[in-house]
Amino acid sequence: MPVTVKTFQALSEVASALSSDRAARYLGGGTLVMRDLNEGDVSMTTVVRATDRSLQTIDGSGARVRIGAGVTFARVLAERDLGFLHPAARSIGGPAVRNMGTVGGNLFAPAPFGDFTVALLALDGLVAVQGGFGLRDMPLEEFLQSRDRQAGALVVAVSCIRPASADAFRYRKISRIKPKGGSVITLAAHVPQSGGRVSGARIALGSMAPTAIRAKGVERALEGRPLDASTINAAAAAASEGTAPTDNALASAWYRREVVGVHLRRLLSGQES
Amino acid sequence: MTKTPLQFRHNGREVALFVDGGTNLLVVLREMLGDVTPKFGCGQGGCGACTVLIDGEAHLSCLTLAETVEGRAVETLDGIKTGPNLHPLQQAFAEGFAAQCGYCTPGMLMAAKALLDRIPQPSREQVVEAISGNICRCTGYEPIINAVLAAAASRRASA
Amino acid sequence: MLELRKDIFADERDDNLNEVGKGTQRQDMLGHVTGTSTYFNDHKLQGMLHLRVVRSAQPHARLRRIDTSEAERSEGVRRIIRGSDVPRNLNTLLSLINFGKDDEPTLAVDKVRYRGEPIVAVVAETPRAAAEAAAKVRIDYEDLPAVFDVEEALKPGAPTVNETYPKNTFIYHERYDHQKLRFGDVERGLAQADHVLEQRYQMSPIEHAPVETNGSIAAPDTNGRYVVYTSTQALFFSLDTCAKILDLPSNTFHFIGGTVGGGFGGKVDTLTEPLAILAAMLTGRPVRYVLGREEEMQFGPPRGAERIYIKDGVMRDGRIVARQIRGYFDSGAYTRLSSYAVVKCAAHLPGPYTIPNVHGDIYCVFTNRTPATAMRGFGITGIDFALECQMDKLAHLIGMDPMEFRILNAYRDGDMKAHRREAKNTALIECVQVAAEKAKWPMREEFRRMSSRKDGGGARAAVPSTPRETAATRPAPAQQRTSYDRGLSSPPLEPPPPPPQSPAPSSSHGATRFSSVFGTRRR
């Protein structure tokens, strides 16, 4: 059966088109869906598009930064207000991929992709999902845990907090090809400090499991402690806790587990990668 | 089979055709319009051989659903010469041995053109970034980077 | 920057070079920068069909049943091709030069031997229709134990990968399961050495990953011929291979190629042309068969993996007195060109050094991995990596500068190589000296003054006495020889090359010649 493309204006129509057809997929920037079509994925017979302008909006005025799911990485990079997300946006693809790939699509990108999501996860990300019963916000962590079942969901926007200070948020993508390549490990750390102690640490890792995950052992090791050498050592020692990396052409699971602590230590202590 | 009408500007020329659902822009350009300058390399956004400019921005035509370019301007390597005269980038690539097998060249040139259109005098670092999504397997990045810089310099000299 | 060092070997050439050292424009450059160079896939033919291959999902399995009935009824399908449709469904690439036995089907029939092996080809009106039909082909596998490691594959009881070679090794000269090199007495050399260093080296398969994937377009032409646009790097080699597989005279085909979007050795295996032509023959329509990127990575042949053991004896003064090498080339499931890679490797031993006792055993091993093929210096690159790592380790072991260590052991003109050929125009010493100079690497004056043209020959030109081995050779079935060109009756076969004997007596050194395929022959 040839592919049918359906284009809707209203988000509710998009959501019902997706939920009513198991062989339908939502087209954001095209970097995932078109790739599958090009490889001959016949499980997809309907491609659904949305033209609603709200998917393209960026709202940085509130306590949380809200980014429409259809916003490309190039637009994130053009937005001075979103400077704290620029390292993550810049680490994705080349310019053409950044002109196409969207913030919403990144949530669905399988390892070793999906780097932007790692940054959002460390910044208490929320996902706005349009379902049959309207719009609801869902914690990004929960969304990722059930990602396989979210294929029929329409992501409308993502939101995240602004880092407590410029220094409190750190992002790093480890890749073998310079300047660009798939992720060996992606790390994002939000480590706000108050009174010289870490308070509310959130650490996220990419390519250490099928989706981006929080490193809760690391968060525990940091919480309530000064960000000194011994705390960082304890955090690095806990880095591989709860991870489930896989082998791929970029690195083996063993290698990822071995080096995740090394890169986390460097990130937290401000060393070059 | 339902076909979708599609109209856009291809290298300054208005074109109109009907496409099958799911057709990508690369297929439209190569197989329907006969412009074979963009190349198929991977179909998954990894190589950059199919890079074209859409409204002046670099895009991967193999990952672009054809109907999303409705009403927009698509530029390929086929459109960058001025009459019989090579574009400064083409001239610089030829003079600087920045092509070996030639297969990545159209994508490289379009990625470079997107850069120079936006930043006429880029730094070396900006050039590297601009072609970072384009793979050359004949080991030619250095001559390519140098050629882009040379093209920028030749424009400065002639400006 | 290009620099011509005319001071070195100035007396060995006329200094009237017209091209070397000067820039010359490539003749294809204008086409490249304007995008008008024509690659195989830039041809669009009226009524072109699209071919997609159903590939093995298993590394090693018996094919119990292949059910294409649903696929045949799928919309837009024009033809399903199975192994029984291929006129001569068994080939080996180097059969064109009568080297090796036919061991590889175009489409698997009874068994699959690597993941990605072609089983069925679907020919349809659109790529999408071909993909949909391919998804409807049902294959019933009976999994067999698989082997992925060269040394595991050689153990007794290992699963047989390819029944043409039941012991999982290519067979040379109808009886030898590996290539041997014997020069001097390596055991005695090792016993006399001040230090012995044994190390293991290995490398993974390397994919060429050309930006243009492998592919071809075949179309019925006038006069019953077929025109074939192809990405091949080896146009007439591919043409002759198709003639054999399709059992037609080679003048049935008009191959057009030459502009290749990167090959590096990965486009010599004639992966797509036989099926594209067969599909054009069976449908009467032009047919395109182009690999997707994932297919290129999974099914496109890589440079094969290698594992190499080197055991060296070295004296405190830096002389290497013995070198023993065991190498295993991972050919994957079929021979392709790995048999030849092994010969090249054996020919390269012991590296560009004069060593009085050399012992080499190199094996071409079959495993359930993607068949390996040519790639830039294949057969040589891996062993050179191993040898030069070993040279650094040896230099470190005896506390000698690694550059000086190489110069000390380098071939001099007039030396006897382990293959019993006199070393000529060796020049390694000068290369090391220039490299050291460019790298500002400090080197003692005496090493700066050494020359490849001094101090060679004499005692270094002698062939040492080499113990004769009594090992029983394994009998192997007679080498299959093929003649596919109908224009000729069976050509007279060359007499089989003599097996590598114990070395020629020292008085006859230089009297044999080394053929890279057939081995050592008397002149």
Domain architecture of chain C: domains with CATH: 47-144+209-298 (3.90.1170.50), 153-206+302-468 (3.30.365.10)
Looking at residue C504, its pLDDT comes to: 37
A128-174 pLDDT tens trace:
999 777 899 999 999 999 988 877 789 999 999 999 898 999 999 99
A186-201 pLDDT tens trace:
999 999 999 999 999 9
Q: Count other Cβ atoms within 10 Å, centred on residue C332.
A: 27
Residue B47 and residue B112 share a domain: no
| Chain C residue with minimum CA distance to A40 | C131
As a whole number of angstroms, the distance between CA C56 and CA C152 comes to: 23
Q: How is chain A split among helix, strand and coil, in percent rounded to 5?
A: 35, 25, 40
Residues from chain A that touch B24, judged by Cβ atoms under 8 A, are 34, 37-38
Residues from chain A that touch B111, judged by Cβ atoms under 8 A, are 94-96
User: What are the CA-CA distances from residue C208 to residues C42, C270, C380, C400 (Å)?
Assistant: 22, 15, 16, 37
Check whether B32 has a pLDDT greater than 50: yes
Spell out the residues 6+ positions from residue C215 whose beta carbon is closer than 8 angstroms to its own: C40, C41, C230, C231, C272, C288, C289, C290, C291
Measure the CA angle with vertex C317, ends C313 and C322; round to 5°.
Answer: 20
Lowest mean pLDDT among A47-56, C315-324, C372-381, C468-477: C468-477
Classify burial at C97, counting beta carbons within 10 Å of its beta carbon; exposed 0-12, middle 13-18, buried 19 or more.
exposed
Looking at residue B130, its pLDDT comes to: 97
Looking at residue A272, its pLDDT comes to: 82
| Chain B residue with minimum CA distance to A182 | B46
Q: Contact, C367 vs C148, CB < 8 A?
A: yes
Q: Which fold has domain A167-268?
A: Enolase-like; domain 1 (3.30.390)
Q: Contact, A15 vs A154, CB < 8 A?
A: yes
| Chain B residue with minimum CA distance to A6 | B21
pLDDT band at C478 (very low <50, low <70, confident <90, very high): very low
Which of B39, B57, B63, B69 is the best substitution to test chain A (most A C-beta atoms within 10 A)? B63
Touching A (3+ Cβ pairs <8 A), the chains are: B, C
Q: A131 — phi, psi (to 5°)?
A: -120, -175
| Chain B residue with minimum CA distance to A34 | B63
- Nearest chain B Cα distance for residue C38, angstroms: 9
State chain A's mean pLDDT as an integer: 94
Looking at residue C403, its amino acid is M
Looking at residue C469, its pLDDT comes to: 79
- Nearest chain C Cα distance for residue B37, angstroms: 5
Check whether A237 has a pLDDT greater than 90: yes
Report which of A131, A104, A108 is spatially closest to residue A11, judged by C-alpha positions.
Answer: A131
Q: Which fold has domain A4-50?
A: 3.30.43
Looking at residue C259, its amino acid is T
**pLDDT (mean) for A52-73:** 94
Residues from chain A that touch B127, judged by Cβ atoms under 8 A, are none
C109-155 pLDDT tens trace:
999 999 999 999 999 999 999 999 999 999 999 999 999 999 999 99
Residue ranges matching CATH 3.30.43 in chain A: 4-50
Spell out the residues 6+ positions from residue C187 whose beta carbon is closer than 8 angstroms to its own: none
| Chain B residue with minimum CA distance to A94 | B133
Picking from A31, A38, A99, the nearest residue to B58 by CB comes out as A99
Looking at residue B71, its amino acid is G
Picking from C41, C44, C262, the nearest residue to B101 by CB comes out as C262
Strands C61-67 and C138-143: antiparallel
Give the tokens for residue C345: 């490797």
- Nearest chain C Cα distance for residue B38, angstroms: 8
Q: How many residue pairs from chains A and B have C-beta atoms closer than 8 A?
A: 91
Looking at residue C1, its pLDDT comes to: 61
Domain range for B10 is 3-79
Looking at residue C471, its pLDDT comes to: 58
As a whole number of angstroms, the distance between CA A272 and CA A260 comes to: 14
- Nearest chain C Cα distance for residue A51, angstroms: 27
Looking at residue C519, its pLDDT comes to: 44
CATH code for position B142: 1.10.150.120
Residue B110 and residue B67 share a domain: no
**pLDDT (mean) for B6-27:** 97
- Nearest chain B Cα distance for residue A104, angstroms: 16
Residue B92 and residue B75 share a domain: no
- Nearest chain A Cα distance for residue C126, angstroms: 10
Report which of C293, C305, C359, C355 is spatially closest to residue C330, judged by C-alpha positions.
Answer: C305
Check whether B117 has a pLDDT greater than 90: yes
Looking at residue C523, its pLDDT comes to: 34
DSSP per residue over C364-377, as a string?
Answer: EEE-SSPPPB--TT
Residues of B at the A interface, defined by Cβ within 8 angstroms? 1-2, 4, 20-22, 24, 43-45, 48, 51, 57-60, 62-65, 67-68, 111, 114-115, 128-134
Looking at residue B1, its pLDDT comes to: 55
Residue ranges matching CATH 3.30.465.10 in chain A: 53-161
Residues from chain A that touch B134, judged by Cβ atoms under 8 A, are 94
Taking the Cβ of residue A5 and every Cβ of chain B, the question of whether any pair is shorter than 8 Å is answered with yes
* Domain count of the fold of chain B: 2
CB contact under 8 A, A40 and C128: yes
Check whether B113 has a pLDDT greater than 60: yes
Strands C358-366 and C320-332: parallel
Cα Rg for chain A, rounded, in angstroms?
19
Q: How is chain B split among helix, strand and coil, in percent rounded to 5?
A: 40, 20, 40
As a whole number of angstroms, the distance between CA C286 and CA A266 comes to: 58
Element (H, E) at B15: strand B13-20
- In the block, residue with structure tokens 């040589």: C380
DSSP per residue over C150-164, as a string?
Answer: HHHHHSTTPPPS-TT
Spell out the residues 6+ positions from residue C496 whose beta carbon is closer than 8 angstroms to its own: C173, C174, C479
Residue B56 and residue B92 share a domain: no
Looking at residue C507, its pLDDT comes to: 38
C113 in helix, strand or coil? Answer: coil
Report which of C257, C39, A39 is spatially closest to residue B36, judged by C-alpha positions.
Answer: C39
Looking at residue B156, its pLDDT comes to: 84
CB contact under 8 A, A97 and B133: yes
Report which of C394, C416, C386 is spatially closest to residue C320, judged by C-alpha positions.
Answer: C394
Looking at residue A47, its amino acid is V
| Chain C residue with minimum CA distance to B106 | C35
C326-383 pLDDT tens trace:
999 999 999 999 999 999 999 999 999 999 999 999 999 999 999 999 999 999 999 9
Report which of B154, B115, B150 is spatially closest to residue B132, judged by C-alpha positions.
Answer: B115
As a whole number of angstroms, the distance between CA C115 and CA C112 comes to: 8
| Chain C residue with minimum CA distance to B102 | C32
DSSP letter at B29 equals I
Check whether C291 has a pLDDT greater than 80: yes
pLDDT band at B159 (very low <50, low <70, confident <90, very high): low
H helix runs in C68-113, sequence order: 69-73
Residues from chain C that touch B86, judged by Cβ atoms under 8 A, are 33-34
Residue B135 and residue B105 share a domain: yes
% pLDDT > 70, chain C: 89
% pLDDT > 70, chain A: 100
Lowest mean pLDDT among A113-117, C60-64, C236-240, C481-485: C481-485
Which residue, B79, B97, B130, sits at the end of a domain?
Answer: B79
Residue ranges matching CATH 3.30.390.50 in chain A: 167-268
Residue B94 and residue B59 share a domain: no
pLDDT band at C479 (very low <50, low <70, confident <90, very high): very low
| Chain C residue with minimum CA distance to B84 | C34
DSSP letter at C234 equals S
Residue B132 and residue B74 share a domain: no
**pLDDT (mean) for B141-147:** 97
Residue B98 and residue B153 share a domain: yes
Q: Which CATH code fits A53-161?
A: 3.30.465.10
Residues from chain A that touch B39, judged by Cβ atoms under 8 A, are none
As a whole number of angstroms, the distance between CA B36 and CA B27 comes to: 9
Which residue, B59, B79, B99, sits at the end of a domain?
Answer: B79
Picking from A37, A38, A95, the nearest residue to B58 by CB comes out as A95
Which of A42, A44, A45, A46 is the best substitution to test chain C (most C C-beta atoms within 10 A)? A42
Which residue, B31, B47, B79, sits at the end of a domain?
Answer: B79
Taking the Cβ of residue A31 and every Cβ of chain B, the question of whether any pair is shorter than 8 Å is answered with yes
State chain C's mean pLDDT as an integer: 90
Q: A256 — phi, psi (to 5°)?
A: -60, -45
CB contact under 8 A, C135 and A38: no
Q: Which of residues 115-144 of C touch A (CB under 8 A)?
A: 126-128, 130-132, 134-135
